[in-house]
Amino acid sequence: MKSYEIVVIGGGPAGLAAAIEAKSNGAKDILVVERDRELGGILQQCIHNGFGLHVFKEELTGPEYAERFIEGLKQQGIEYKLDTMVLDITDHKQVSMINPEDGFLQVQAKAVVLAMGCRERTRGAINIPGSRASGIFTAGTAQRFVNMEGYMVGKDVVILGSGDIGLIMARRMTLEGAKVHAVVELLPFSGGLTRNIVQCLEDFNIPLLLSHTVTNIVGKDRVKEIQIAEVDENRRPIPGTERSFKCDTLLLSVGLIPENELSKSAGIRLDGITGGPVVNESMETSIEGIFACGNVVHVHDLVDWVTEESRRAGKNAARYVQNQLVQGVKTITTKPGQGVRYVVPHYIRPENIEDKLNLMMRVDNVYHGARLVIKEDDRVIKSIKKAHLAPGEMESIKLTKQELETIAGKEITIALEIEEAKE
Amino acid sequence: MRMYDVAIIGAGVIGTAIARELSKYNVKVIVLDKENDVANGTTKANSGIVHAGYDAKSGTLKARLNVAGNAMYEDLCKALEVPFKRIGSLVVAFDEEDMATLQELYQQGLDNGVPNLQLLGRDEVKEMEPNLSDEIIGALYAPSAGIVGPWELAIALAENAADNGVEIRLNAAVTQIEANEQGFLVTVDEDTLQAKYIINCAGLYGDKINNMVNTPSFEIVPNRGEYNLFDKGVGDYVNHVVFQTPTKHGKGVLVLPTAHGNLMIGPTAEPVDEPEAVETTEVGLKFLREKAKRVVPKFPFQAVITSFAGLRAKVKTNDFIIEASAETKGFINVAAIDSPGLSAAPAIAEMVVGMLKDIAGGFAVNSSFKPNRRPSIHFMALSPEEKAALIAKDPRYGRVICRCEGITEGEIVDIINRKAGATSLDAVKRRARAGAGRCQGGFCGPRVMEILARELKVDITSVVKDRKASYILTGATKSNDEYGLPSQQVADSQDI
């Protein structure tokens, strides 16, 4: 059986950054496994700009951002396989995969980096009643058709969900000559980035209907009409508020789900809130030597943060194979408190921190003038004032090694302290 | 003009079962269906249950053919490689009134010849199904009940019939039937064909086909049933088909594992105006959830994958109509096949072919009849060595197209190129399960369309989701129009 120091599963932004960083930190044999026909993952279909502001201090398109990492991978001489599907990972880090060229292949890894990304929630998952006509697409699938295959998926469009892909697709479809009637959002706030609401909806006069939902899909063969209604605080349609759009297409941008079927089969512990593996400061999962990064851990809104997190995973995978990661030492749990849905990483072993650690988290509602406070019992370790907080925007707090070393116990809490009333 | 011995109208599970049964004889048979795939009406949207047979009134066709059909399922599904599991059914009772009804059903089952029926007490039920409500006080257990992949059965029957010489003609709506001296002149869109005998298995359109040559004698009322389907992760939440005891308020909702390993609840029962009304409704789905919760209090609703609805062909008399027309010789109605039609299908086919033999004075046996379907490859079920050997032989098995269900390009190409093969996205899903998983085709849809277009030698924009008019793409993007497809642009730039 062929063996590698590190096998990276997924050749999207997370996998690429992890592989390059692992190589730069002394790992020798690395294999990147990608199921699609090219490297770069979903970035390849994100032809809009806005990527790279943090990592490269310039605005790139998705394919441009991906290209920099693909180039980096090639320059470093890192081996990769395309069109290759991983079937199984064992807890002993044996990875089986297939592709048309090699057939069935089993390799032994010293470390594995999981970077499989996420998938979109579907119409079925939100159980919208009505017909099963054609013309209903998840926004990402529509994006692939339009940007990669070169085909339009409709002419008159309603979009359910104001996640970033939905907002981006509202603009994209408009630019391609389609009429986007509305973006309908169940919640009283958008799940997307503010800049996308401005640049993709407001600039094109596309209405954003908050606290609304799709109540029925009409059309025998192809979508003909989408019925919507306003919802009450329990998210139930309010009688009398129904209206409808004559259209041929419904795009869904109703959430992303980390894709962890492989993680589950390996027996890795998952977080019920994020849907991704529980990880420590090194982005290592509950199985020693199996690391995870990017959207497979928790859904990010900026690829720049995926890169940052994945570099950390790659570097630590390299440290692991060189026996530089300290195992079985003091461990601090990061506990989400009031207003905070989750915190990544879930555990910190301060001995493995070189200078600082980024804690990433999402809040559960829209807040103005609140503080994100990290505490050990009643002692405040760090407190940051935030003018605006929203579930659609990931927050991060840096903790220095010195700050981490002040923690005596086994748990810190990250919570919101609200100074003014919630919106 | 094309001449046939038998024209079967309707390619649902009944039409295809009769076609396959007829292919055992030297008879020239054509199956006509208005849809672009077999099994595209009632057959593709029902509970997928092979009922035990205690439910129908003794002495009816339903009672007799259900019990007889049920007993034929093992052999048939084995020969045709159709998923079938004899998991047994439970009718659960919540009170003494329910228990009295169960007693009646038990007796009726005995009269109908249902094997091994048992009345169970609270503890026995709980032991068999730990997730059921504590309020259940007993159940009627029918070990002979089973679950089957209903559309797979019809697809397999059609394919095997075609392999044995039956012609299957899809996209062929019968618009007129004229009785003449040689039998019938059948108009199919712009075309006509001549058949000595006609078997009407037109499901929801059974009355309309009958009325083309006969005096109206029955009226089909479409009755809609809505369903909710849940992820395979909760597929073992119940291990039997679980019915609620029928009361004067209705039959209740059933909870069952499907033959594919999912968990399902349904159906509702609602008369609708037209034979194409297969929408789900907010009211219907809510009703299902409430009823399911009564039987399974901690029902895993969050694992929902999709909802769908199907229509059953009901008549007032509430029994199958299987009879040779008295006024038109050579015309056989097989109509009003609602529940337990799927369970009875193999027995109905035998009965109808028997009737036809009587009318025709017997048929010569087809000595080259092949009872088995050409085996399919299920790549993920193979051992590592078998996987390696298969990919070496055909590299298309090394390319996974549907990630959620683990379906390879080789398997998809195979089901497109079989007889009665797939021509639409949903047809691929019904045959190979590609797109039937968690992502519901989000990732593999574009790839499957590409494969369909290539194998069928059509443009990708003409690939449909399901029925003829269910187009997916509306044309090229602006840049595609001007500069050609993105993939082509890459090829062009490399030429320079």
Do A241 and A193 share a structural domain? Answer: yes
ipTM reported for the complex, 2 dp: 0.92
Q: Which residues of B touch A140 (CB under 8 A)?
A: 442
**pLDDT band for position B270 (50/70/90)?**
very high
In this prediction, residue B440 carries a pLDDT of 82
- For chain A, the domain total comes to 3
CA A311 and chain centroid, separation: 15
Here the CATH number for the domain that contains residue B298 is 3.30.9.10
Statement: residue A421 has pLDDT above 80: no
Statement: residue A11 has pLDDT above 90: yes
Statement: residue B495 has pLDDT above 70: no
Q: What CA–CA distance (Å, rounded) separates B174 from B189?
A: 7
Statement: residue B436 has pLDDT above 90: no
Residue carrying the six token digits 């990433």: A360
Residue A51 has φ and ψ, to the nearest 5°, of -95, 145
Statement: residue B435 has pLDDT above 90: no
Statement: residue A263 has pLDDT above 50: yes
Output the furthest CA–CA distance in chain B (Å, rounded).
84
Statement: residue A359 has pLDDT above 70: yes
β-pairing, A156-160 with A249-252?
Answer: parallel
CA B299 and chain centroid, separation: 26
Nearest beta carbon to residue B474 from set A101, A122, A154: A154
Asked if B53 contacts B93 with a C-beta cutoff of 8 angstroms, the reply is: no
Here the CATH number for the domain that contains residue B417 is 1.10.10.1100
pLDDT, tens digit, 9 for 90 and up, residues A212-225: 999 999 999 999 99
Nearest beta carbon to residue A138 from set B307, B396, B442: B442
Statement: residue B209 has pLDDT above 60: yes
Do A147 and A90 share a structural domain? Answer: no
Handedness of CA B92, B97, B99, B101 (dihedral sign): negative
Q: Which residues of A touch B304 (CB under 8 A)?
A: 124-125, 127
**pLDDT band for position A392 (50/70/90)?**
confident
- For chain B, the domain total comes to 3
Per-residue three-class SS string for A313-371: HHHHHHHHHCCCCCCCCCCEEEEECCCEEEEECCEECHHHCCCEEEEEEEECCCEEEEE
Pick from B39, B9, B165, B82: nearest CA to B421: B39
Do A232 and A141 share a structural domain? Answer: yes
Pick from B115, B91, B112: nearest CA to B102: B91
State which residue of chain B sits closest to A217, comparing Cα positions.
Answer: B279
A153 Cβ under 8 Å from any chain B Cβ: yes
Do B70 and B59 share a structural domain? Answer: yes
Cα distances (Å, whole numbers) of residue B280 to A129, A244, B288, B291, B323: 5, 18, 11, 16, 34
CA B162 and chain centroid, separation: 18
Residue B324 has φ and ψ, to the nearest 5°, of -75, 135
State which residue of chain A sits closest to B465, comparing Cα positions.
Answer: A134
In this prediction, residue B439 carries a pLDDT of 79
Do B283 and B134 share a structural domain? Answer: yes
Mean pLDDT value across chain B: 94
Q: What CA–CA distance (Å, rounded) separates B81 from B373?
A: 7
Q: What CA–CA distance (Å, rounded) separates A321 from A18?
A: 14
Do B231 and B210 share a structural domain? Answer: no
Do A84 and A161 share a structural domain? Answer: no
Helices (H), A135-229: 139-144, 164-175, 194-196
Burial class (CB in 10 A: 0-12, 13-18, 19+), A316: buried
In this prediction, residue B341 carries a pLDDT of 97
Asked if A33 contacts A262 with a C-beta cutoff of 8 angstroms, the reply is: no
pLDDT, tens digit, 9 for 90 and up, residues B220-253: 999 999 999 998 889 999 999 999 999 887 777 9
B5: which strand partners? none
Do A82 and A45 share a structural domain? Answer: yes
pLDDT, tens digit, 9 for 90 and up, residues B363-397: 999 999 999 999 999 999 999 999 999 999 999 99
In this prediction, residue B486 carries a pLDDT of 52
Do B343 and B297 share a structural domain? Answer: no
Residue B21 has φ and ψ, to the nearest 5°, of -65, -40
More confident residue, B495 or B446: B446
Residue B260 bears catalytic tag: no
Supply the range of the domain harboring residue A364: 328-423
State which residue of chain A sits closest to B281, comparing Cα positions.
Answer: A129
The distance of B166 to chain A (nearest Cα, Å) reads 29
β-pairing, B241-244 with B89-93?
Answer: parallel
In this prediction, residue B196 carries a pLDDT of 98
Statement: residue A422 has pLDDT above 80: no
Q: What CA–CA distance (Å, rounded) separates B184 from B181?
A: 8
Cα distances (Å, whole numbers) of residue B222 to B7, B14, B17, B40: 24, 17, 22, 15
Question: Where do the DSSP E strands lie in A176-242?
Answer: 179-184, 208-209, 212-218, 225-230
Cα distances (Å, whole numbers) of residue B191 to B1, B88, B175, B186: 9, 47, 10, 8
Asked if A357 contacts A399 with a C-beta cutoff of 8 angstroms, the reply is: yes
Supply the range of the domain harboring residue B64: 1-84+145-218+315-375
- Looking at A283, A298, A325, which one is the last position of a domain? A325
Here the CATH number for the domain that contains residue B330 is 3.50.50.60
- Looking at A254, A289, A308, which one is the last position of a domain? A254
- Looking at A325, A352, A368, which one is the last position of a domain? A325
Pick from B151, B149, B195, B150: nearest CA to B172: B195
Do B235 and B104 share a structural domain? Answer: yes
Statement: residue B213 has pLDDT above 90: yes
Q: What CA–CA distance (Å, rounded) separates B416 from B427?
A: 9
Q: Which residues of B touch A101 (CB under 8 A)?
A: 395, 398
Cα distances (Å, whole numbers) of residue B244 to A326, B211, B254, B267: 58, 38, 7, 12
Burial class (CB in 10 A: 0-12, 13-18, 19+), A402: exposed
Do B323 and B308 share a structural domain? Answer: no
In this prediction, residue B343 carries a pLDDT of 98
Do B282 and B402 share a structural domain? Answer: no
Here the CATH number for the domain that contains residue A50 is 3.50.50.60
Statement: residue B413 has pLDDT above 80: yes
Do A235 and A129 share a structural domain? Answer: yes
Do B50 and B182 share a structural domain? Answer: yes
Asked if A350 contacts A334 with a C-beta cutoff of 8 angstroms, the reply is: no
Do B361 and B299 share a structural domain? Answer: no
Q: What CA–CA distance (Å, rounded) separates A361 from A334?
A: 11
**pLDDT band for position B490 (50/70/90)?**
very low
Nearest beta carbon to residue A129 from set B281, B400, B441: B281
In this prediction, residue A423 carries a pLDDT of 46
Mean pLDDT value across chain A: 95
pLDDT, tens digit, 9 for 90 and up, residues A280-326: 999 999 999 999 999 999 999 899 999 999 999 999 999 999 999 99
Q: Which residues of B touch A141 (CB under 8 A)?
A: 441-443, 445-446
Quick one: tokens of B457? 């030698």
**pLDDT band for position B494 (50/70/90)?**
very low
Question: Which of B36, B408, B477 best probes binding to A when mutated, by most A CB atoms within 10 angstroms?
Answer: B477
Handedness of CA A275, A280, A282, A284 (dihedral sign): negative
Do B227 and B112 share a structural domain? Answer: yes
In this prediction, residue B481 carries a pLDDT of 65
In this prediction, residue B482 carries a pLDDT of 62
State which residue of chain A sits closest to B446, comparing Cα positions.
Answer: A145
Q: Which residues of B touch A122 (CB under 8 A)?
A: 305-306, 438-440, 442
A273 Cβ under 8 Å from any chain B Cβ: no
In this prediction, residue B491 carries a pLDDT of 42
Question: Which of A33, A122, A174, A223 best probes binding to B when mutated, by most B CB atoms within 10 angstroms?
Answer: A122
**pLDDT band for position B8 (50/70/90)?**
very high
Nearest beta carbon to residue A104 from set B384, B460, B473: B384
Do A126 and A250 share a structural domain? Answer: yes
Cβ contact, residue pair A122, B480, below 8 Å: no
Here the CATH number for the domain that contains residue A384 is 2.60.40
Cβ contact, residue pair A99, B399, below 8 Å: yes
pLDDT, tens digit, 9 for 90 and up, residues B315-368: 999 999 999 999 999 999 999 999 999 999 999 999 999 999 999 999 999 999
More confident residue, B413 or B443: B413
Active-site pick, B51, B240, B260, B378: B51
Provide mean pLDDT across the span B98-105.
97
pTM over 0.90: yes
- Which residue type does A181 have? H
Nearest beta carbon to residue A148 from set B279, B470, B486: B486
Cβ contact, residue pair B486, A130, below 8 Å: no
State which residue of chain A sits closest to B392, comparing Cα positions.
Answer: A103
In this prediction, residue B39 carries a pLDDT of 97
Of all helices (H) and strands (E), which one includes residue B432? helix B425-432
Burial class (CB in 10 A: 0-12, 13-18, 19+), A199: middle
Residue carrying the six token digits 């996998």: A15
Statement: residue B479 has pLDDT above 80: no
**pLDDT band for position A245 (50/70/90)?**
very high
- Looking at B260, B277, B312, which one is the last position of a domain? B312
Do A114 and A262 share a structural domain? Answer: yes
A146 Cβ under 8 Å from any chain B Cβ: yes
Provide mean pLDDT across the span A181-194.
93
Do A210 and A145 share a structural domain? Answer: yes
Provide mean pLDDT across the span B75-103.
97
**pLDDT band for position B414 (50/70/90)?**
very high
Statement: residue A267 has pLDDT above 70: yes
Statement: residue B438 has pLDDT above 50: yes
Do A182 and A285 share a structural domain? Answer: no
- Which residue type does B302 have? Q
Q: Which residues of A touch B40 (CB under 8 A)?
A: none
Question: Which of B232, B440, B460, B464 best probes binding to A when mutated, by most A CB atoms within 10 angstroms?
Answer: B440
Cβ contact, residue pair A127, B308, below 8 Å: no
A317: which strand partners? none
In this prediction, residue B485 carries a pLDDT of 56
Contact partners, residue B413, CB within 8 Å, separation at least 6 = B396, B451, B455
- Which residue type does B459 have? D
Do B277 and B193 share a structural domain? Answer: no
Do B49 and B165 share a structural domain? Answer: yes
Quick one: tokens of B172? 């062929």
Do A155 and A272 share a structural domain? Answer: no
Do A188 and A205 share a structural domain? Answer: yes
Q: How many other C-beta atoms can be found within 10 angstroms of the C-beta atom of residue B298? A: 9
Contact partners, residue B233, CB within 8 Å, separation at least 6 = B303
